[in-house]
Amino acid sequence: MATKALIIDYSWSGTTAKLATALQRVTGGDRVDLTVAAGTFPNDMYATSDVANRQLATHQLPALTNAVPDIGAYDVLLVGGPVWSGKVSTPVRSFLQQLANFSGIVAPFYTDAGTPGDYEADLASLIPAATVVPGIGLTAGELQGADRQLTRWWQRLAAK
Ligand X SMILES: Cc1cc2nc3c(=O)[nH]c(=O)nc-3n(C[C@H](O)[C@H](O)[C@H](O)COP(=O)(O)O)c2cc1C
Burial class (CB within 10 angstroms; exposed 0-12, middle 13-18, buried 19+) of 121: exposed
Q: Are strands 87-88 and 30-33 parallel, antiparallel or unpaired?
A: unpaired
- 114 lines the binding site for ligand X (CB under 6 A): yes
Please identify, among the stretches 27-35, 94-102, 108-116, 151-159, the one whose residues bind ligand X according to the rule CB under 6 A.
108-116
- Is 47 one of the binding residues for ligand X (CB under 6 A)? no
Is residue 55 a contact point for ligand X (CB under 6 A)? no
In the complex, the smallest distance separating the C-beta of residue 91 from ligand X, rounded to whole angstroms, is: 10
What is the Cα–Cα distance from 118 to 79, expressed in whole angstroms? 16
Residues 5 to 24 in contact with ligand X, rule: CB under 6 A: 11-17
Enumerate residues 6+ apart whose C-beta is below 8 A from 55: 61, 62, 90
Compare residues 27 and 48 and give the one whose CB is closer to ligand X: 48
**Site residues, ligand X (CB under 6 A):** 11-17, 45, 48-49, 52, 82-86, 111-117, 140
